[in-house]
């Protein structure tokens, strides 16, 4: 602790600064309290924003006390204000800005804020901040349709984050089970308004994300003022919803209520009842759909059967099926005609070949030596079957063979028989 500007005296036997204290030579607690009181007293006034919690008005008291909670983090501090400086009716849950000076009471070591002015945060200011946050998250792509996860057709379990004993819880559960009697819920009832709302909803979200068969998570609450719905526009909750692996459904308020969670969630339901319609199918509608599908299927099947029957009738009316013997008759007629043609062609071919053979035979007979022999001529051959064409071819005392028309004659030739 810096004591260079301190007016609180430190006894000579003690370390002059807090940094010089040791286990052997510590400061007494009253000295530390006096130093803190002095340090806090030097702090200037400051404007602080937060939410009022645990406020119990004290009629007739000069000073009113309440607790101011941080809007996003778990931090709170007691605030004091003179009753005459309280210009409007303060209520728990109100979002305010105060001008206050820190005040330390060394008697019990408590730090409080002494406020001299309190201003309510107007709806316009809140809406302006919400619009700034929307623009920021939109620029980061958290609103993009491409990152939205589709809802399952029939979730195994439905995670539901809602207030304690609220109409929103009943609307979701009752209407979902009207549509699908077996709808199963994992319900987390938490604070959905006030300083602890964001932290409790975040805890419920992380818990439901860890349950394997929770296939969809619904944030549900009824309508309310802009201030009432502020937890659903807090950046910490929005980023957690955007990072969730389970599809998120936002069912906050009524038709006109649009907290930023509506833009970050995978599906926006206008009301808790609308959320019930979106997360489970209607059993009646599914039955009707199956019934209609069966009717359409039967109708189409009858049409297909009718088409096939028509094609069968068409095929049966063709000659090949209606008079199958006719095809055989036609083929038989064709074979008979071919057989006749073949016989005719073969006979003519034989006749032609016979005529040509007879002509060749006649020529052969004309040119044959037999014809010459038939006219009385003969042919001489020696014993070597060599034709005798000249007297010179005949040797004396030799046997010759004479071929006549009807046989052969053996001749004995002597020299005297040979005449030139």
Q: Are 76 and 53 in contact (CB under 8 A)?
A: yes
Q: What is the pLDDT of residues 74-133, one digit of tens each?
A: 788 999 999 888 887 888 777 888 899 999 988 888 899 999 988 887 666 777 788 888
For residue range 373-413, list pLDDT tens digits in order: 777 778 888 877 888 888 777 776 567 888 887 888 887 77
The arithmetic mean of pLDDT across residues 269-279, rounded, is 92
Residue 48 to residue 45: CA distance in whole angstroms: 10
List pLDDT tens digits, range 196-239.
888 899 999 999 999 999 999 999 998 777 777 888 988 999 99
Q: Please list, in sequence order, all residues whose beta carbon lies within 8 angstroms of the beta carbon of residue 97, skipping any fewer than 6 positions away.
A: 47, 48, 49, 118, 119, 120, 121
Beta partners for residue 410, in sequence order: 401
Give the pLDDT of residue 262.
Answer: 92
Reported as a pLDDT band with limits 50, 70 and 90, residue 255 is low
> Distance between alpha carbon 124 and the CA centroid of its chain, in Å?
43
Is the per-residue pLDDT at 149 higher than 80? yes
Provide the pLDDT for residue 123. Answer: 65
Query: What pLDDT is attached to residue 35?
Result: 87
CATH number for the domain whose boundaries are 126-144+155-281: 3.40.50.2300
Least confident window among 261-270, 301-310, 357-366: 357-366
> What burial class does residue 3 get, using C-beta atoms within 10 Å of its C-beta: 0-12 exposed, 13-18 middle, 19+ buried?
middle
Tokens representing 248 are 């998120």
Above 80 in pLDDT, residue 360? yes
| Residue 85 pLDDT | 85
For the segment 264-270, the average pLDDT, to the nearest whole number, is 93
pLDDT tops 70 at residue 340: yes
Residue range 139-153: mean pLDDT, rounded: 94
Q: What is the mean pLDDT of the chain?
A: 86
Two tokens at 61? 């008291």
- CATH code of 43-121, in short, is 2.40.50.140
**Which of these ranges, 68-72, 168-172, 209-213, has the smallest mean pLDDT?**
68-72
Mean pLDDT across 345-357 = 91
pLDDT exceeds cutoff 60 at 1: no
Quick one: what percent of the chain has pLDDT higher than 90?
A: 41
Note the pLDDT of residue 275.
93
Q: What DSSP character marks residue 387?
A: B
pLDDT for res 13: 86
pLDDT band with cut points at 50, 70 and 90 for residue 141:
very high
Pairing of strands 110-120, 95-105: antiparallel
What confidence score (pLDDT) does residue 153 get? Answer: 93
Threshold 0.95, pTM exceeds: no
Domain ranges in the chain are 43-121, 126-144+155-281, 285-317, 321-365, 370-417
């Amino acid at each position: 602790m810096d004591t260079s500007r301190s007016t609180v005296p430190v006894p000579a036997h003690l370390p002059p600064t807090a940094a010089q204290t040791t286990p052997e030579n510590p400061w007494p607690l009253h000295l530390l309290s006096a130093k803190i009181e002095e340090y806090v007293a030097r702090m200037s006034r400051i404007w602080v924003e937060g939410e009022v919690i645990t406020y119990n008005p004290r009629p007739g008291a000069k000073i009113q006390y309440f607790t101011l909670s941080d809007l996003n983090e778990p931090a709170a501090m007691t605030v004091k204000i003179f009753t005459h400086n309280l210009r409007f009716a303060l209520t728990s849950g109100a979002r305010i800005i105060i001008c206050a000076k820190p005040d330390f009471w060394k008697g019990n070591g408590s730090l409080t804020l002494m406020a001299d002015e309190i201003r309510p945060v107007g709806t316009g200011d809140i809406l302006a901040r919400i619009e700034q946050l929307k623009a920021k998250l939109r620029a980061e792509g958290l609103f993009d349709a491409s990152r939205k996860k589709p809802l399952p057709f029939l979730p195994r379990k439905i995670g539901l984050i809602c207030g304690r004993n609220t109409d929103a819880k009943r609307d979701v559960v009752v209407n979902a089970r009207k549509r699908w009697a077996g709808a199963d819920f994992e319900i987390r009832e938490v604070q959905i308004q006030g300083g602890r709302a964001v932290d409790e909803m975040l805890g419920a979200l992380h818990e439901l994300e860890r349950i394997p068969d929770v296939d969809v998570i619904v944030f549900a609450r009824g309508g309310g003022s802009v201030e009432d719905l502020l937890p659903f526009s807090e950046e910490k909750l929005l980023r957690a919803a955007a990072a969730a692996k389970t599809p998120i459904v936002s069912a906050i308020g009524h038709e006109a209520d649009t907290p930023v969670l509506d833009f970050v969630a995978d599906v926006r339901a206008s009301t808790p009842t609308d959320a019930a319609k979106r997360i489970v199918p209607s059993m009646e509608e599914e039955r009707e759909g199956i019934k209609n599908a069966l009717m359409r299927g039967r109708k189409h099947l009858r049409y297909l059967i009718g088409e096939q029957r028509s094609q069968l009738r068409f095929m049966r009316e063709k000659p090949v099926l209606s008079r199958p013997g006719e095809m055989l008759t036609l083929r038989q007629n064709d074979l008979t005609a071919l057989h006749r043609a073949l016989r005719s062609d073969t006979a003519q071919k034989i006749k032609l070949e016979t005529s040509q053979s007879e002509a060749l035979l006649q020529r052969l007979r004309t040119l044959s030596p037999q014809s010459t022999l038939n006219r009385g001529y003969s042919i001489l051959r020696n014993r070597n079957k060599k034709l005798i064409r000249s007297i010179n071819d005949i040797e004396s005392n030799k046997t010759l063979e004479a071929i006549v028309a009807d046989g052969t004659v053996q001749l004995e030739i002597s020299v005297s028989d040979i005449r030139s």
